[in-house]
Amino acid sequence: MRFKNKVVLITGSSRGVGRATALEFAKEGASVVVNYTNSEDKANSLVNEIEGLGSKAIAIKCDVSVENQVKSMIEEIISKFGKLDILVNNAAIVFDVPIFEKTVEEWQKTMAVNLIGSFLCAKYSSKYLLGSKGNIVNVCSNSGYNSFAPTSADYDSSKVGLISLTKNLAKELAPDIRVNGVAPSWVDTDMNRDLPKEVLDEEIGKILLGRMAQPEEIAKTILFLASDDASYLTGSIIFVDGGTI
């Protein structure tokens, strides 16, 4: 098992890609910290599922955009497990409304969670990751590279920033902590299933493989980046987008 005796924090992991990633790490022997903001029942259910796989897990409620909550979360992890080996910055939100109908408050909240939250988690975990020569994986998006979707301009802008943050953190924390990113396109999650059929059909038409990704496909790439198999990768962004054009 690639992650036996490792401790991993996955933000926003009560559902979607985060949940799938937590389960994949647990199958590989890691102790998993399930971070959530609102979905307490889902987080606790995931903890039970992870424990059923024979791995350790705890759930911690924390809004990653709030600095003192992030600091407390990291302190709780160290108190519980004594170390932290891997950080997966996955928590993200989006407000799908026409660009000029978006409020300043919505823009600020998106940036606070998607970008500043990733910075805060990296800031407060880095000294512990340094001690274990651990690594960080940021869940970016191909929307941060090439996007023409004004309804998600806040999300797209935050992911542009996260790609840049990934590269800057890689430089700052080298050579002891590797920092990489994974950039999915459309993923088959509850959030995306609720979108209008015509929107999904149009977007899937841009994907060479002709379908959305399954959460586990993104999760396995995250595990690769966090593993020793990626020991010579840092500052890299892997696009797992089915060949989106």
93: which 2 tokens? 């939100």
The answer as to whether 2 is a domain residue is no
For position 90, what pLDDT does the model report? Answer: 98
Give me the mean pLDDT over the 11-31 stretch. Answer: 98
Instruction: Out of 128, 145, 155, 232, pick the active-site residue.
Output: 155
Q: Is the pLDDT of residue 194 over 90?
A: no
User: What pLDDT band is residue 68 in, cutting at 50, 70 and 90?
Assistant: very high
170: which 2 tokens? 């890689």
Q: Return d(Cα 72, Cα 91) in angstroms, integer.
A: 17
When divided into structural domains, the chain yields a total of 1
For position 157, what pLDDT does the model report? Answer: 95
Q: What is the mean pLDDT of the chain?
A: 95
Q: Return d(Cα 166, Cα 156) in angstroms, integer.
A: 15
**Residues sharing a CB contact under 8 Å with residue 71, sequence separation 6 or more, in sequence order:** 124
Tell me how crowded residue 152 is: count the other CB atoms within 10 A of its CB: 20
pTM: 0.96
Q: First and final CA of the chain: distance in angstroms?
A: 36
**Where in the sequence is the domain holding 107, given as residue range(s)?**
7-239
Q: Return d(Cα 56, Cα 54) in angstroms, integer.
A: 7
Tell me how crowded residue 146 is: count the other CB atoms within 10 A of its CB: 11
Q: Which residues of 58-68 are buried (b: 16+ CB within 10 A; e: fewer)?
A: bbbebbbbbee
User: What pLDDT band is residue 196 in, cutting at 50, 70 and 90?
Assistant: confident
The answer as to whether 203 is a domain residue is yes
The answer as to whether 84 is a domain residue is yes
Can you tell me which residue has the tokens 């709780």?
A: 76
Give catalytic status of residue 155 as yes or no. yes
* Long-range Cβ contacts of 69-73 (<8 Å, 24+ apart): 70/117, 70/120, 70/121, 70/123, 70/124, 71/124, 73/9, 73/33, 73/35
SS3 47: helix
- Which residue, among 213, 153, 164, 225, has the nearest Cα to 184 in the 3D structure? 213
What's the CATH number where 139 sits? 3.40.50.720
The answer as to whether 245 is a domain residue is no
Question: What region does 7 belong to: left with phi over 0, alpha with psi -120 to 50, or beta?
Answer: beta
- Which residue, among 222, 88, 22, 14, has the nearest Cα to 240 in the 3D structure? 222
pLDDT digits (tens, 9 = 90+) for 112-153: 999 999 999 999 999 999 999 999 999 999 987 777 789 999
**Residues sharing a CB contact under 8 Å with residue 30, sequence separation 6 or more, in sequence order:** 3, 4, 6, 7, 8, 55, 85, 86
Q: Is the pLDDT of residue 23 over 90?
A: yes
